[in-house]
Amino acid sequence: MNIKEEIKEQLNKRTLLLDGAMGTMLQLYGLKSGECSEGWNISHSQVVQKIHQEYIKAGADIILTNTFGANRIKLRSFGRETNILKINEIAVNIAKDAIDKERSLEKRIFIAGSLGPTGKILEPYGDLKVSEVYKNYKEQTVILEKAGVDLIILETFYDLEEIKTALKAVKENSDLMVIASMTFDKNLKTIYGVDPERAVIVLENEGVDGVGANCGTGPEVLYKVLKIMKKVSKTYLMVEPNAGMPELVKDKVVYPASPKIMADYTEKFVKLGLNLIGGCCGTTPLHIKAMSDKIKN
Ligand SMILES: [Zn+2]
């Protein structure tokens, strides 16, 4: 059985738990706003590994590499594009080391390569060409597959054209399973005006293995989004909500949704029939632990 079949076999049996946030966890360890988070794979690899280990101990079945912004176009905005190979390779090795350190749990953990948006705007509104987007994700996918990820998760995209192109690049240049997830606002559309039905139909037409929603305003809105997706989707469904909308309390960013709130929503997500559940910004190993306990029950 190849890895894709193995993951699908698991998904046909049960709900898989993803990990929680990486970026906001790194901020707790001192990552400054505006700093390149993926650069920490090189400068603070022990911290990244520790976060992975905490998520594994909390019950995650799938951990996401710290590569969300490690595509060439995004890295260029930090002047780090020459580090692209090293940043992605180390990210996968850190994830492997974390799994190895937690091997006493005797649990199969999968490594998902995280791919995020370029941060640039496509033509005709911006100056980014579709061909550049394709090349951008082809490059990162090839590196991640060679380094040993088990699947790819495209996350936090707003532009359907961009995620569709990224999906195409992953599918045409790897044998990996790929899940594509967009970010929706309170009005149940992405900031580019894409609604959940259209996202599902277009991405499934392109051959995606799973679709979903992540980040944004928290579990309540994403529950509504996934309910709509569930009606039209023929593939696996994923959700990774933020721990609510961040609030500024005494100059500190605070995420309001407690582990208990996330666990309560996890129950609702399971009942809705979702296949992959995890957390985005503001979620911590405590959230994932509470969600894991809920799934086990
Ligand atoms: Zn997020």
Q: What is the pLDDT of residues 94-107, one digit of tens each?
A: 999 999 999 999 99
User: What pLDDT, on a 0 to 100 scale, did the predictor assign at position 253?
Assistant: 85
Q: What is the pLDDT of residues 28-70, one digit of tens each?
A: 999 998 999 999 999 999 999 999 999 999 999 999 999 999 9
User: What pLDDT, on a 0 to 100 scale, did the predictor assign at position 87?
Assistant: 98
Q: How far is the CA of 3 from the centre of ligand 1 (A)?
A: 27
- What does the alpha-carbon distance between residue 8 and residue 178 come to, in Å, rounded to a whole number? 11
Q: What is the pLDDT of residues 119-156, one digit of tens each?
A: 999 999 999 999 999 999 999 999 999 999 999 999 99
Q: How far is the CA of 28 from the centre of ligand 1 (A)?
A: 15
pLDDT surpassing 90 at residue 272: yes
Percent above pLDDT 70 for the chain: 100
pLDDT surpassing 90 at residue 12: yes
Q: How far is the CA of 233 from the centre of ligand 1 (A)?
A: 23
User: What pLDDT, on a 0 to 100 scale, did the predictor assign at position 251?
Assistant: 83
- Distance of CA 82 to CAs 85, 86, 191, Å? 8, 9, 31
Evaluate the CA torsion angle 24, 31, 18, 64 in order and state its sign. Answer: positive
Mean pLDDT of 271-292: 98
User: What pLDDT, on a 0 to 100 scale, did the predictor assign at position 39?
Assistant: 98
Q: How far is the CA of 262 from the centre of ligand 1 (A)?
A: 14
Q: How far is the CA of 42 from the centre of ligand 1 (A)?
A: 22
User: What pLDDT, on a 0 to 100 scale, did the predictor assign at position 252?
Assistant: 84
Q: How far is the CA of 290 from the centre of ligand 1 (A)?
A: 19
What total of structural domains would you count in the chain? 1
User: What pLDDT, on a 0 to 100 scale, did the predictor assign at position 1?
Assistant: 85
Average pLDDT taken over every residue of the chain: 97
User: What pLDDT, on a 0 to 100 scale, did the predictor assign at position 108?
Assistant: 95
- What does the alpha-carbon distance between residue 184 and residue 196 come to, in Å, rounded to a whole number? 8
- What's the CATH code of the domain at 77? 3.20.20.330
- Residues 6+ away with beta carbon under 8 Å from 212: 179, 180, 181, 226, 229, 237, 238, 239, 240, 274, 276
pLDDT surpassing 90 at residue 277: yes
Q: How far is the CA of 254 from the centre of ligand 1 (A)?
A: 13
DSSP string, the chain: --HHHHHHHHHHHSPEEB---SHHHHHHTTPPTTS-GGGHHHH-HHHHHHHHHHHHHHT-SEEE-S-TT-SHHHHHTTT-GGGHHHHHHHHHHHHHHHHHHTGGG----EEEEEE---SSPBTTTSSB-HHHHHHHHHHHHHHHHHHT-SEEEEEEE--HHHHHHHHHHHHHH---EEEEEE---TTSS-TT---HHHHHHHHHHTT-SEEEEEETT-HHHHHHHHHHHHHH--SEEEEEE-SS--EEETTEEE----HHHHHHHHHHHHHHT-SEE---TT--HHHHHHHHHHHH-
pLDDT surpassing 90 at residue 185: yes
Domain containing 196 equals 3-296
pTM of the model: 0.97
Q: What is the pLDDT of residues 196-253, one digit of tens each?
A: 999 999 999 999 999 999 999 999 999 999 999 999 999 999 999 999 999 988 888 8
